Amino acid sequence: MLFMGDSITDFWRNAEGAYAGKAVLDKYFGQWKVANFGIAGDTTQGVLYRLQNGEGQGFKPRAVMLMIGTNNTMRNTAAEIAEGIGAVVLQLQKSFPEARILLLGVFPRSRPGDPVRDTIKEINQIISRLDDGRRVFYMDIGEKFLDAQGNIPNDVMSDLLHPSAKGYEIWAEAVIEPIKALMAGRNPPGR
């Protein structure tokens, strides 16, 4: 299994600290070999460049979990970011033709009312159309990180961006059944 993304994905490997995902990774995904290609600060352009230049060569993942785009929100439009995510998905399909892709919507960040929330909503509306029901499966789990007022609780993402251990637990709980299905060569539940 391959994880692709930015710091939010990268920090699945952190064993300690405010953004420690390793214990959760081991608990939920320890039954599989997981290659984490998340890099802090990465953008859609960076992931695409890495894939086009051989990253992952020799890997034959059954499934890829992709969550990318938040670092583009300060300099690109929602349409540009969605186009970049689409290009990454196409390259993943080319680089890993046997893999099925779990494409996650960009996670919420910041506070309600911040324009970045609207940008993320627009990105996710566009990229949801990449779900083809065969090789690419879109899932938006962003609401699971929010309280009833739309705020991100401090114990879920203390900086309103990066998940804590509790945030990683929320993420893992949301995706484990779809991941199990993809790893077994089946469509996620409800498909």
Return the pLDDT at 184: 96
Task: Examine the pLDDT at 104 and tell me if it is beyond 90.
Answer: yes
* 22, 67, 69 from 16: Cα distances, Å: 8, 22, 25
Per-residue pLDDT tens over the stretch 74-101:
999 999 999 999 999 999 999 999 999 9
pTM of the model: 0.97
Return the pLDDT at 123: 99
Domain ranges of the chain: 2-183
Distance of CA 9 to the CA centre of its chain: 7
As a whole number of angstroms, the distance between CA 142 and CA 140 comes to 6
Q: Given the structure tokens 């953004």, which residue do they identify?
A: 19
Q: Which CATH architecture has domain 2-183?
A: 3-Layer(aba) Sandwich (3.40)
CA atoms within 13 A on the CB side of 86: 16
Residue 91: how many CB atoms within 10 A of its CB?
A: 17
Return the pLDDT at 190: 77
Task: Examine the pLDDT at 191 and tell me if it is beyond 90.
Answer: no
Instruction: Provide, rounded to the nearest whole percent, the portion of the chain with pLDDT above 90.
Output: 98
